[in-house]
């Protein structure tokens, strides 16, 4: 059968790395509070000249190098972001131009922190239906530009970055072959007011700032993430025992622990980068995946579950044999 196989990953972070101690100089917070409540120690913040598109380009370039293919061979770019360079055109088309690809399908997906999972399902569907053969799937964000830097309950939680993967159509053995084995997505639009941006082109004519009721989001996150991971594994016909790694959305170390516990997964099987990157929204899953592939933790043939939840609410999971 034809599956979408991950043939390369890449990631990129802004140059400037900001510690909790530096955050405590900006708002009334402490390193102890941030570490204890979230597990976050550092975040990268985009500087002048660094945008969602430049971070996405750098991550994509590294993913293409890892896959050993030329940019011109890409026929699809799906870019997940809630912080596009411009309201339109899609940031995917900016990245396309930066990579020197003159003709391919390129568009953005907006599902906030679970945007990358949405992008993966869209690209996988297009590959398996024969519409695309080589896709760049990217999650890229500059959330620092939509944070209220006077709100200590949100500004300490987020960071900027990008992650990318190359997905290629390949013949894959049904029982043992590589590729995306299952994806499952959800949305429940009743929860808009728990996590949102208080502006937009069609409402205020402004970009707006991020607002969040963290405690409520936390509660939904653990329940929804554990459920959707279970659903995706059932779709792939796999039990928890066969999962080698979980690469979760990196919002809060306590959410990662609680979700793993709910599923009976050992914490050693969960990839954690939230301490270094904070919450990079749509970038967090591909960033963490790239880190764990490059440092040798995730190896070919292993079963990896990707999962994320974000504003909307939206949430989803994917099961992949690497
Ligand atoms: N520094 C110090 N104190 C802070 C603080 C900060 N940066 N931010 C909030 N506080 C205070 C609050 O004001 C509150 O004080 P009060 O009790 O006097 O009112 C206290 O800390 C506890 O706040 P609370 O919101 O109950 O803390 P919490 O344990 O729920 O942790 C979050 C807050 C945001 C870290 C946590 O709820 C969380 O991670 N939620 C999920 C967020 C998330 O994942 N979002 C993205 C999904 S995509």
Asked if 287 and 150 sit in the same domain, the reply is no
Residue-level pLDDT at 128: 98
CA-nearest residue, atom 31 of ligand 1: 37
Asked if 267 and 135 sit in the same domain, the reply is no
pLDDT band at residue 212 using 50, 70 and 90 as cut-offs: very high
Cβ atoms of 120 and 319 closer than 8 Å? no
Beta pairing partners, 65: none
Asked if 155 and 247 sit in the same domain, the reply is no
Domain membership of residue 130 as a residue range:
2-171
Mean predicted lDDT score pLDDT of the chain: 97
Q: Is 113 among the catalytic positions?
A: yes
pLDDT band at residue 263 using 50, 70 and 90 as cut-offs: confident
pLDDT band at residue 26 using 50, 70 and 90 as cut-offs: very high
Asked if 164 and 18 sit in the same domain, the reply is yes
* Ligand 1 atom at minimal distance to the Cα of residue 27: 7
Among 152, 171, 190, which residue terminates a domain? 171
Q: What percent of the chain has pLDDT over 90?
A: 98
Conformation bin of residue 205: beta by default, left when phi > 0, alpha when psi is -120 to 50: left
Asked if 65 and 18 sit in the same domain, the reply is yes
User: How many C-alpha atoms does 120 have within 13 Å on its Cβ side?
Assistant: 33
Among 171, 194, 226, which residue terminates a domain? 171
pLDDT digits (tens, 9 = 90+) for 308-319: 999 999 999 999
Q: What is the 3-state secondary structure (H, E, C) of 113-138?
A: HHHHHHHHHHHHHHHHCCCCCEEEEE
Q: Is 249 among the catalytic positions?
A: yes
CA-nearest residue, atom 7 of ligand 1: 152
Burial class (CB in 10 A: 0-12, 13-18, 19+), 150: exposed
Asked if 166 and 58 sit in the same domain, the reply is yes
Q: Is 279 among the catalytic positions?
A: yes
Residue-level pLDDT at 193: 97
Asked if 37 and 185 sit in the same domain, the reply is no
Q: What are phi and psi of 158, to 5 degrees?
A: -115, 160
- CA 43 / ligand 1 centre spacing (Å): 17
What is the number of structural domains in the chain? 2
**Is a pLDDT exceeding 90 seen at residue 68?**
yes
Lowest mean pLDDT, pick from 2-6, 185-189, 218-222, 303-307: 218-222
Asked if 114 and 185 sit in the same domain, the reply is no
**Is a pLDDT exceeding 90 seen at residue 117?**
yes
| Ligand 1 site-directed mutation target among 28, 29, 37, most atoms within 8 Å of CB | 37
- CA 19 / ligand 1 centre spacing (Å): 18
322: which 2 tokens?
């690497």
Asked if 132 and 215 sit in the same domain, the reply is no
Asked if 40 and 157 sit in the same domain, the reply is yes
- CA 34 / ligand 1 centre spacing (Å): 9
| Ligand 1 neighbour 219 (Cβ under 6 A) | no
Lowest mean pLDDT, pick from 56-65, 123-132, 253-262: 253-262
- Residues near 297 by Cβ (< 8 Å), separated by ≥ 6? 245, 271
Cβ atoms of 222 and 262 closer than 8 Å? yes
- CA 146 / ligand 1 centre spacing (Å): 18
pLDDT digits (tens, 9 = 90+) for 141-164: 999 999 999 999 999 999 999 999
| Ligand 1 site-directed mutation target among 20, 143, 153, most atoms within 8 Å of CB | 153
pTM score, whole prediction: 0.98
Asked if 73 and 31 sit in the same domain, the reply is yes
* Ligand 1 atom at minimal distance to the Cα of residue 23: 7
CA-nearest residue, atom 1 of ligand 1: 29
Among 171, 193, 211, which residue terminates a domain? 171
Q: By C-alpha distance, which of 172, 180, 116 is closest to 309?
A: 116
Domain containing residue 221: CATH number: 3.40.47.10
The residue annotated as part of the active site, out of 113, 155, 224, 277, is 113
| Ligand 1 neighbour 284 (Cβ under 6 A) | no
Asked if 165 and 236 sit in the same domain, the reply is no
Q: What interhelical angle do 52-67 and 91-98 show, nearest 10?
A: 50
Q: By C-alpha distance, which of 62, 6, 66 is closest to 322?
A: 6
């Amino acid at each position: 059968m034809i599956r979408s196989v991950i043939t390369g990953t890449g990631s990129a972070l802004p140059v400037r790395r900001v510690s909790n101690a530096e955050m405590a100089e900006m708002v009334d917070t402490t390193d102890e509070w941030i570490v204890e409540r979230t597990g976050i120690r550092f975040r990268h913040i985009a500087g002048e000249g660094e945008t969602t598109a430049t971070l996405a380009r750098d991550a994509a370039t590294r993913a293409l190098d890892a896959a050993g293919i030329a940019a011109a061979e890409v026929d699809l770019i799906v870019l997940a972001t809630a912080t596009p360079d411009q309201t339109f055109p899609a940031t995917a088309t900016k990245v396309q131009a930066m990579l020197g690809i003159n003709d391919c399908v390129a568009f953005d997906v907006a599902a906030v922190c679970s945007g990358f999972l949405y992008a993966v399902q869209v690209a996988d569907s297009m590959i398996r239906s024969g519409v695309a053969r080589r896709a760049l799937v990217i999650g890229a964000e500059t959330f620092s530009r939509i944070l209220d830097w006077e709100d200590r309950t949100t500004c300490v939680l987020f960071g900027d970055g990008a992650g990318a993967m190359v997905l290629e159509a390949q013949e894959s053995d049904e029982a043992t072959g590589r590729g995306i084995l299952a994806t499952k997505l959800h949305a429940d639009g009743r929860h808009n007011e728990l996590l949102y941006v208080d502006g937009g082109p069609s409402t205020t004519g402004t970009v707006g700032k991020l607002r969040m009721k963290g405690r409520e989001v936390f509660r939904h996150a653990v329940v929804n993430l554990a459920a959707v991971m279970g659903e995706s594994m059932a779709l792939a016909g796999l039990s928890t025992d066969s999962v080698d790694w979980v690469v979760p959305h990196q919002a809060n170390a306590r959410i990662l622990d609680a979700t793993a516990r709910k599923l009976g997964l050992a914490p050693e099987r969960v990839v954690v980068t939230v301490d270094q990157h904070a919450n990079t929204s749509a970038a967090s899953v591909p960033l963490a995946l790239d880190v764990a592939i490059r440092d040798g933790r995730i190896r070919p043939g292993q079963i990896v579950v990707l999962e994320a939840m974000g504003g909307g609410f939206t949430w989803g999971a994917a099961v992949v044999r690497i």
